């Protein structure tokens, strides 16, 4: 089991895509089983026993597991009963617990990942590449995954996996390769290194930490949710609750972190607070005014800043110039417009200011947002939202997919604003970030807030058990059943 580590954008995925034939190297050779090969397409790689589980799952939601697995490999066992039998066989052999006739859209993240692994095994792969397989899993699921992987290793398969999480890398990998800016900087074995040294190799300097020391929490309540309920109707016409009886409050100067496995209602919670979805019941109060049913624009004007989870879908107009992106979301506010009219000159000037102040690396403000790198796009968004001095900032995965330097800057900006009385709702899959930045932690599971915790004392493992529904209540109190000990 070989681990590949490196900071965001180091080129790990790119390297793996080359190995899997999805991209072609400009120079250099690849050898499989000692023989040099030229991989022109995934089909080439597959035929040589290389299989890959991508960072973003490659599954068709509207297909069954069976269809997803046999796609592209119909020659092996057809697309019917024989294939189904083979899937069951593999699933049982490695304890994957995959049901072939379920729709993929009905599966959770961990199950989807197992489908991905099964897809690779079904094709008889001998080399298994996993790109950041643990990023979206809770610690317990990670353990289960590694157990599966060890089984595979025992069968003689080669496993190559990518991760940022140095702890898990050190615990399971047999070899580690560190890459930085597209080149290998070190090859180490776990026994001869420790997380600190590995981190320094990765970044070239010390890793930043999201730790916040002094508390700035005040008594003034900024956001309050009471009994918020949101239902959605699925294709069958069945109504179900995606948010159920949500109650929370965030005070000025407080960062409230929400932990949860993706798809448990965090996105809907954000959308309800932003006004993109109208709650069926309950109230949302911002700074003393009821905004339960106010339109999104009103809420933004009233001082909610929003760093969306998916910046390409919700944060930017990719083909518009930077200054128009600076206007986005604040078109009714100064300096972007006056009366009903835009003020492009002022917006441009202010964009220049943001670019300078937030260190957005760009040659100018007339280039399209699409031509910036992800980290710089994110800095622009943060700068834009902060420029309007929000009372409440909703930050969903604010550092997802940005490099370490940008990450540190964004953390700094959140901390600074918090000191000045900003209330922050933080949602993140990165439990270290969540624990490090938050003043209070809540855990979301199946549309409900099931547990809370004190970030000063909680560990990622404890949070993880609550995220899978195994624990609830106040996780810190010894009186309540909690998973694992505290440190």
Q: Which stretch binds ligand ATP (CB under 6 A): 1-9, 199-207, 236-244, 341-349?
A: 1-9
Q: Which stretch binds ligand ATP (CB under 6 A): 8-16, 249-257, 289-297, 464-472?
A: 8-16
**Among the listed residues 1, 3, 8, 444, the single contact to ligand ATP using CB under 6 A:** 8
CB atoms within 10 A of CB 227: 12
Rule CB under 6 A: say whether 343 interacts with ligand ATP.
Answer: no
**Among the listed residues 85, 364, 419, 457, the single contact to another protein using CB under 8 A:** 364
Q: Which is nearer to ligand ATP, 176 or 441 (CB)?
A: 176
Provide CB contacts within 8 A for 341, sequence distance 6+: none
Rule CB under 6 A: say whether 442 interacts with ligand ATP.
Answer: no
CA 360 to chain centre: 22
Q: Which stretch binds another protein (CB under 8 A): 212-220, 249-257, 366-374, 424-432?
A: 366-374
* Cα–Cα nearest to 432, from 463, 403, 404: 463
Q: Are 244 and 448 in contact (CB under 8 A)?
A: yes
Cα–Cα distance between 134 and 168 in angstroms, integer? 9
Rule CB under 6 A: say whether 405 interacts with ligand ATP.
Answer: no
Rule CB under 5 A: say whether 407 interacts with Mg ion.
Answer: no
**Among the listed residues 5, 13, 176, 378, the single contact to ligand ATP using CB under 6 A:** 13
Cα–Cα distance between 90 and 151 in angstroms, integer? 12
Partner from ligand ATP, another protein, Mg ion, none contacting 10, C-beta within 5 to 8 A by type: ligand ATP
**Among the listed residues 341, 479, 485, 487, the single contact to another protein using CB under 8 A:** 341
Rule CB under 8 A: say whether 88 interacts with another protein.
Answer: no
Q: Which stretch binds Mg ion (CB under 5 A): 54-62, 331-339, 406-414, 463-471?
A: 54-62
* Cα–Cα nearest to 1, from 136, 118, 151: 151
Q: Which is nearer to ligand ATP, 8 or 482 (CB)?
A: 8
Give DSSP secondary structure letters for 183-224. Answer: EEEEEE-GGG--HHHHHHHHHSSPPP-----S----S-EEEE
Q: Which is nearer to another protein, 161 or 306 (CB)?
A: 306
Rule CB under 8 A: say whether 292 interacts with another protein.
Answer: no
Ramachandran sector of residue 216 (left: φ over 0; alpha: ψ -120 to 50; beta: rest): alpha
Rule CB under 5 A: say whether 134 interacts with Mg ion.
Answer: no
Which DSSP letter does residue 9 get? Answer: T
Shortest Cβ distance from residue 54 to Mg ion (Å)?
9
Rule CB under 8 A: say whether 300 interacts with another protein.
Answer: yes
Instruction: Enumerate the H helices of 303-343 as residue ranges.
Output: 322-327
Site for another protein in 140-199 (CB under 8 A): 140-141, 143-144
Q: Are 210 and 411 in contact (CB under 8 A)?
A: yes
Q: Which is nearer to another protein, 263 or 421 (CB)?
A: 263
Closest residue to Mg ion in the complex (CB): 13
Shortest Cβ distance from residue 62 to another protein (Å)?
5
Instruction: Enumerate the H helices of 304-373 as residue ranges.
Output: 322-327, 344-357
Cα–Cα distance between 8 and 241 in angstroms, integer? 36
The helix or strand, by DSSP H or E, that contains position 142, with its residue range, turns out to be helix 139-154
Site for ligand ATP in 363-392 (CB under 6 A): 373
Task: Look up residue 200 and give its two tokens.
Answer: 């320094």
The helix or strand, by DSSP H or E, that contains position 379, with its residue range, turns out to be helix 374-387
Rule CB under 8 A: say whether 19 interacts with another protein.
Answer: no
Task: Look up residue 474 and give its two tokens.
Answer: 């106040």
Site for another protein in 438-457 (CB under 8 A): 445-447
Site for ligand ATP in 32-61 (CB under 6 A): 55
Going across the sheet that includes 392-396, the strands are: 304-307, 392-396, 423-427, 255-259, 440-445, 448-453, 473-474
Q: Which is nearer to ligand ATP, 133 or 436 (CB)?
A: 133
Rule CB under 6 A: say whether 407 interacts with ligand ATP.
Answer: no
Q: Which is nearer to Mg ion, 45 or 424 (CB)?
A: 45
Rule CB under 8 A: say whether 320 interacts with another protein.
Answer: yes
* Cα–Cα nearest to 393, from 253, 231, 202, 277: 253
Distance of CA 61 to CAs 58, 107, 108, 112, 120, Å? 9, 9, 11, 10, 18
Site for Mg ion in 55-114 (CB under 5 A): 55
Rule CB under 6 A: say whether 10 interacts with ligand ATP.
Answer: yes
Partner from Mg ion, another protein, ligand ATP, none contacting 6, C-beta within 5 to 8 A by type: ligand ATP
CB atoms within 10 A of CB 13: 20
Site for Mg ion in 13-32 (CB under 5 A): 13
Contact residues: ligand ATP, CB under 6 A: 6, 8-14, 55, 373, 401
Contact residues: Mg ion, CB under 5 A: 13, 55
């Amino acid at each position: 089991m070989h681990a590949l580590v490196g900071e965001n954008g180091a080129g790990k995925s790119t390297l793996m895509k080359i190995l899997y034939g999805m991209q072609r190297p400009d120079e250099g050779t690849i050898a499989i089983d000692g023989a040099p090969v030229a991989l022109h397409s995934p089909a080439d790689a597959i035929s040589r026993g290389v299989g890959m589980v991508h960072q973003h799952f490659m599954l068709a939601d509207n297909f069954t597991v069976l269809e997803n697995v046999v796609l592209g490999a119909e020659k092996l066992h057809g697309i019917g009963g024989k294939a189904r039998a083979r899937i069951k066989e593999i699933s049982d052999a490695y304890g994957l617990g995959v049901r072939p006739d379920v729709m993929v859209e009905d599966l959770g993240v961990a199950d989807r990942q197992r489908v991905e692994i099964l897809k690779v095994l079904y094709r008889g792969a001998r080399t298994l590449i996993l790109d950041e397989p643990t990023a979206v899993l809770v610690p317990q699921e990670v353990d289960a995954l590694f157990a599966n992987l060890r089984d595979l290793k025992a069968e003689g398969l080669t496993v190559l996996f990518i991760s940022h999480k140095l702890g898990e890398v050190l615990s399971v990998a047999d070899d580690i390769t560190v890459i930085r800016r597209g080149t290998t900087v070190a090859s180490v074995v776990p026994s001869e290194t420790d997380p600190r040294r590995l981190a320094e190799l990765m970044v070239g300097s010390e890793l930043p930490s999201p730790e916040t020391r002094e508390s700035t929490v005040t008594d003034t309540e900024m956001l309050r949710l009471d009994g918020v309920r949101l239902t959605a109707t699925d294709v069958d016409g069945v109504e179900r609750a995606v948010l159920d009886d949500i109650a929370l409050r965030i005070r000025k100067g407080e960062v409230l972190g929400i932990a949860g496995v993706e798809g448990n209602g965090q996105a809907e919670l954000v959308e309800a607070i932003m006004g993109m979805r109208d709650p069926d019941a309950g109230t949302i109060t911002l700074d003393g005014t009821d905004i339960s049913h106010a339109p999104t624009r009103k809420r933004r004007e009233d001082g909610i800043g929003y760093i969306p989870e998916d910046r390409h879908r919700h944060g930017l107009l990719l083909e518009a110039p930077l200054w128009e992106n600076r206007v986005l979301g604040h078109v009714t506010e100064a300096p972007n417009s006056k009366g009903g009219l835009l003020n492009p000159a002022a917006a441009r000037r202010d964009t220049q200011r943001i670019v300078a102040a937030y260190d957005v690396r760009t040659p100018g403000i007339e280039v399209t947002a699409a031509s910036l790198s992800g980290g710089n796009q994110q800095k622009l968004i943060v700068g834009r939202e902060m420029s309007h001095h929000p009372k409440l900032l909703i930050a969903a995965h604010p550092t997802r997919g940005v490099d370490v330097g940008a990450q540190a800057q964004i953390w700094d900006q959140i901390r600074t604003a918090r000191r000045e009385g900003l209330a922050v709702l933080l949602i993140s899959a990165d439990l270290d970030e969540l624990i490090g930045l938050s003043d209070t932690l809540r855990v979301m599971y199946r549309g409900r807030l099931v547990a809370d915790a004190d970030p000063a004392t909680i560990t990622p493992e404890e949070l993880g058990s609550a995220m899978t529904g195994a624990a609830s209540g106040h996780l810190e109190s010894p009186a309540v059943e909690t998973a694992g000990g505290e440190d």
